[in-house]
Structure 1
Amino acid sequence: MSMDHQAPIEDIIHRIDEVAEKNERIQFGQVMDAVGRNSFASLLLVVGAIMLLPGPADLPGVPVLLGAIAILLCGQMLAHRDHVWIPDWIERREISQHKMKKMLDWLRRPAAWLDSMTAERWTFMMNHATISTLAVAAILVAMSTPVLEFIPFSANLAGGAIFAFALAILARDGLLAGLAVCISIATFGLVGYQFFVS
């Protein structure tokens, strides 16, 4: 369910970059193979990163699609599956090498800093119950994406929450897990506010 890496973000960027170097168009299934189909948190980190980055999450329908993938991943985490299953039509979704490189370059800038800021701390929180709670929280955040499409930059906030959930699991960082919960609460607050003013 997690990986033992000192720099999980940089490691994932490196793996995806190797795929991008060899292909003019990259399918999501190829990204899954590179990251590891048995590492739910790593794949969730990728989904959260795409939502967090400026550009992709602003396209109509993209936040909902990414939210659906996040729900699939977290649901399978809760079901204790050994490896990830994603529908073929999602696996075949493609992105150009240029766009992939652009996203990786954008993510590479803060990657080393983010990896350096994470640590195995408050590990007493990172038990099975907490990880399951984070998975449920990520599902709830992902379920809000249809509403977030109508709120500028809110999908990026949801992506930040999902990204933080995944990184907390990978790094066994209980403090980051708490921060991720705070981001998710802010996301829910934004959704609630949107309903209140509409």
Structure 2
Amino acid sequence: MNQPLQDLEQLLDRIGELTRDNDQVSIGMVVESVGSRSFGPLLMLIGITLFSPLSGVPGMSVFMASFVLLIAIQMLIGRKQFWLPHYILNRSVERGKLQKALDWLGKPARGIDRALKPRLTFLVHSGGSYGIAALCVVVGLCMPFMELVPFSASAAGLALLLLGLALVVHDGLLVLLAVAVFGAAFTFIIINTL
């Protein structure tokens, strides 16, 4: 059984291990390597996907929105182990594309991990985790509209990455940053669509 993830670099390393042995890496393979009780790392995974060059794939925002909603709703109802349908678990990406995204994210991940530490923990424990789940529902519902405004999905990805990291390292400051990032992205979308 895998040890719980402690930071972003460990998540990237664990996903990178999958690219060594497989030409295609499915979400099911990633979930198995991360652990099916790991809501934080899964939010980080979605955030990384949307923040990386993979976000340029048409329809990625809509697909990831369904993933976010499934995870967030299960967090809200208090499930200890999450469930995902096979159509999500069977989705995969080529090894080369995934490795390119992982390489692109490696250096920033090391810098981010050095800055993280437990603080404002009331924002990530007990009631705070329900607040994070509720925010994820809002982000998931807004993501299909982000297909209309360039780069707004990357902002949502950054917000989800921050929320996932907050759950993993118990850093409530990241929750506040995620709210600010998503608020700015939401405002940007409203201004550009009206």
**Which TM-score bucket, shorter chain as reference?**
over 0.9
Contact 1:161 1:181 (8 Å CA) reproduced: yes
Q: Does 1:142 align with 2:123?
A: no
Matched residue, 1:35: 34
Q: C-alpha separation between the residues in 1 aligned to 2:34 and 2:5?
A: 13
Q: Does 1:47 align with 2:46?
A: yes
| TM-score for the superposition, normalised by structure 2 | 0.93
Paired AA for residue 162 in structure 1:
L
Paired AA for residue 99 in structure 2:
K
Q: C-alpha separation between the residues in 1 aligned to 2:127 and 2:70?
A: 19
Q: C-alpha separation between the residues in 2 aligned to 1:88 and 1:65?
A: 13
**1:58 maps to which of 56, 59, 76:** 56
| TM-score for the superposition, normalised by structure 1 | 0.92
Please identify runs of 4+ aligned residues in structure 1 that moved more than 6 A.
none
Query: How many residues are aligned here?
Result: 192
State, as a whole percentage, how many aligned pairs show the same letter. 32
Segments of structure 2 that go 5 or more residues without pairing to the other structure are: none
Q: CA deviation at 1:47?
A: 0.6
Matched residue, 2:94: 96
SS of the counterpart of 2:18? helix
Q: CA deviation at 1:126?
A: 2.6
Q: C-alpha separation between the residues in 2 aligned to 1:94 and 1:48?
A: 16
Paired AA for residue 119 in structure 1:
K
Q: C-alpha separation between the residues in 1 aligned to 2:145 and 2:124?
A: 30
Give per-residue Cα distances to partners, 1:96-155, cap 9 Å, x unaligned.
Answer: 111111111111111111111111012233332111111111211121111110111111
Paired AA for residue 162 in structure 2:
A
Segments of structure 1 that go 5 or more residues without pairing to the other structure are: none
